[in-house]
Amino acid sequence: MAKLKKNVKPEVALLQKCLTGIKGLDEITGGGLPKGRPTLVCGGAGCGKTLLAMEFLVRGAIEHNEPGVYMSFEEKSEELTTNFASLGFDLNDLVSHKKLSLDYVQIERGEIEETGVYNLDGLFIRLGYAIDSIGAKRVALDTIEMLFSGFSNEIILRAELKRLFSFLKEKGVTAIVTGEQGERTLTRFGLEEYVADCVIFLSHKVSEQIATRRLRIVKYRGSVHGTNEYPFLIDEQGFSVMPISSLGLDHPASNKRVSTGIPRLDTMMEGKGYFQGSSILVTGTSGCGKSSVAAHFVDAACRRGERCLYFAFEESRTQILRNMRSIGIDLEQWVKKGLLEFRNSRPTLCGLEMHLVSMHKAIEVFNPAIIVIDPISNLVTSASENEVKSMLSRLIDFLKMKGITALCTDLTAANGSLERTEIGISSLMDTWLLLQAIEANGERNRGLYILKSRGMEHSNQIREFYLTDKGVQLRDVYVGSSGVLTGAARIAQVAREKAEKLARSQDIEQKQRNIERKKEVIEAQIAALRTGLAAEKEDLDQAIDRENLYQKVLDEETLAMAQTRKADDFVSMKKSGSKPGKRGGK
């Protein structure tokens, strides 16, 4: 009861579960298979039933210390041991440590003659003995349907099967029973009639020449479970199921920012760059510099000492290194330091799920701070759009849970609308950079917009985007009456404006000079006038002086005359000082 705290109501006897230890399966089933009950695993040939059953036992033995009995009706113990050795399971070692018991039940119709009534006590005893001898908690029967080929009396067989499952329940072992898929039924012989608690269906579909394995929980009594078809993978580490939707939208959101590696781009995003743990989409037509933006981001992260994982679906590692060197980004040093790792693969190499799982695994192993997927649009070649979308949403969920910043590039078709992604995943992304080729005047130039960037005030302006030997450079564009000007047109515009400015300043200088000259002329005139005035004034003074002199001379003469005449005037004149003008006396 206490084990399942998640359930809201503390019921009296909740279904106990048995962790399978298989990646993903425990998530979907909400904690494993029903404990102490049989579970039916059915599916077509080669879909992984045996592996699921065996991994259940091996994981139980190794991780949960629950020994298991594997009763095989198809493969001999030695064959099983060899087959599973290639998956890294050492069955012999487990057997010698009494953690696992392998029992091969050989059924050959030709050897068996049926005479009268019988039951399958022999099988029960064998199984019971095997369980008791190692104290097994888990049992796998693979595939018990083979009994139907060995015994002709189906009535007895069905009764015995029913008894077998109740026998297993009595023993309290958690069992996996496998069954081959039938025409219209889950299993060829209707095993689902007997194993009713939990049924898992495995399928292996091939579409577009790429096979994808899927797992579905058909029923699970007494428990909620994921109902989708979950893709799963069998690789050298065994079975992994990828739950699509079991990851919730409850990942923490970081306020930390990480530089884009391009200073001007940082400036466009409040000067700080992307949010840590966010997902960034860089879209554009081919040759826009998407990979270069990614390389800058990687370079900046490595400079900070963060680990980066680069998934390349188009170029080889050395090609990327070479190309980025041409724009002045040396990624090789980070590879050598172990901060950067490339995972290059063709999208068609394997199914999408395989890609997803291998990405998961690579991420788990490498534990990067940022990852780059270049480009995601190429994955479409290996699956349908819907599948890619669901895969990416799972991947992004996973990355967000881990707080890993993801930068995905996406190639948009040249004729399509630019503001649409091939896979329609833009809504999943937090930041969307659009690189656009601006074609005008016989050139193609690159422009960069931030279409969206959740949670920050970002620049709404287009920037011109240059690839130089020192990396990506952003510049303001010219926005004129004829639209945005880039490249040569921009340079021409600059020149034009410069010329106009020069002309204007020359004009002003000219005017200034004119005024100056005018002023000089006027000043000269003023000086001339002044000179004239001064000359006139001088003349006047001279005239006055002359007049005075004349008067004086005249007076003196008059006086002298009067002296000689001894006139009264002279006497009175002498007395009163001078009244020389008294010539009236004459």
Partner 1 sequence: MTGGAKKKMPDRKGKSAIETKGWQLKLYVAGQTPRSITAFDNLKLICEEHLEGKYHIEVIDLLEKPQLAKGDQILALPTLVRHLPEPITKIIGDLSNTERVLVGLDIKPLC
What residues line the site for partner 1 (CB under 8 A)?
A: 103, 105-107, 111-123, 125-126, 128-129, 147, 150-151
Of the pair 73, 478, the CB lying nearest partner 1 is at 73
Tokens (6 digits) for 200: 């898992």
For residue 147, give the DSSP letter: H
Of the pair 107, 418, the CB lying nearest partner 1 is at 107
Pairwise CA distance, residues 431 & 404, whole Å: 14
Of the pair 147, 340, the CB lying nearest partner 1 is at 147
Shortest Cβ 163–partner 1 spacing (Å):
13
Of the pair 32, 67, the CB lying nearest partner 1 is at 67
Of the pair 116, 577, the CB lying nearest partner 1 is at 116
Distance set, CA 410 to CA 142, 290, 379, 433 (Å): 46, 8, 10, 10
Of the pair 114, 523, the CB lying nearest partner 1 is at 114
Shortest Cβ 111–partner 1 spacing (Å):
5
Of the pair 152, 525, the CB lying nearest partner 1 is at 152
Q: What angle, rounded to 10 degrees, do the helices at 49-63 and 77-85 form?
A: 80
Of the pair 116, 252, the CB lying nearest partner 1 is at 116
CA 435 centroid distance within chain: 15
Of the pair 124, 366, the CB lying nearest partner 1 is at 124
Among residues 276, 231, 233, 255, the alpha carbon closest in space to that of 394 is found at 231
Of the pair 115, 468, the CB lying nearest partner 1 is at 115
* CB-based contacts of 454, cutoff 8 Å, min separation 6: 275, 278, 430, 431
Shortest Cβ 73–partner 1 spacing (Å):
10
Shortest Cβ 248–partner 1 spacing (Å):
48
- Beta-bridged to residue 38, according to DSSP, are 175
Shortest Cβ 5–partner 1 spacing (Å):
41
Shortest Cβ 122–partner 1 spacing (Å):
4
Burial of residue 545 (number of CB atoms within 10 Å: 0-12, 13-18, 19+): exposed
Residue whose token pair is 């069905």: 158
Tokens (6 digits) for 343: 């995972």
* CB-based contacts of 148, cutoff 8 Å, min separation 6: 154, 157, 188, 189
Q: What angle, rounded to 10 degrees, do the helices at 154-171 and 121-134 form?
A: 20
Shortest Cβ 109–partner 1 spacing (Å):
11
* CB-based contacts of 382, cutoff 8 Å, min separation 6: 208, 210, 347, 348, 350, 351, 352, 355
Q: What angle, rounded to 10 degrees, do the helices at 290-303 and 317-326 form?
A: 90
Of the pair 165, 230, the CB lying nearest partner 1 is at 165
Residue whose token pair is 């095997």: 130
Shortest Cβ 70–partner 1 spacing (Å):
13
From its phi and psi, is residue 403 left (phi > 0), alpha (psi between -120 and 50) or beta? left
Provide the terminal-to-terminal Cα distance of the chain, rounded to the nearest Å.
Answer: 163
Shortest Cβ 74–partner 1 spacing (Å):
14
* CB-based contacts of 344, cutoff 8 Å, min separation 6: 311, 312, 313, 315, 316, 317
Shortest Cβ 126–partner 1 spacing (Å):
4
Tokens (6 digits) for 21: 């230890």
Of the pair 111, 469, the CB lying nearest partner 1 is at 111
Distance set, CA 551 to CA 53, 541, 570, 573 (Å): 154, 15, 17, 16
Pairwise CA distance, residues 459 & 452, whole Å: 10
Shortest Cβ 190–partner 1 spacing (Å):
20
> Is there a contact between 222 and 34 (Cβ–Cβ < 8 Å)?
yes
Shortest Cβ 236–partner 1 spacing (Å):
32
Shortest Cβ 196–partner 1 spacing (Å):
24
Tokens (6 digits) for 317: 């590692």
Of the pair 118, 550, the CB lying nearest partner 1 is at 118
The residue count for the chain: 586
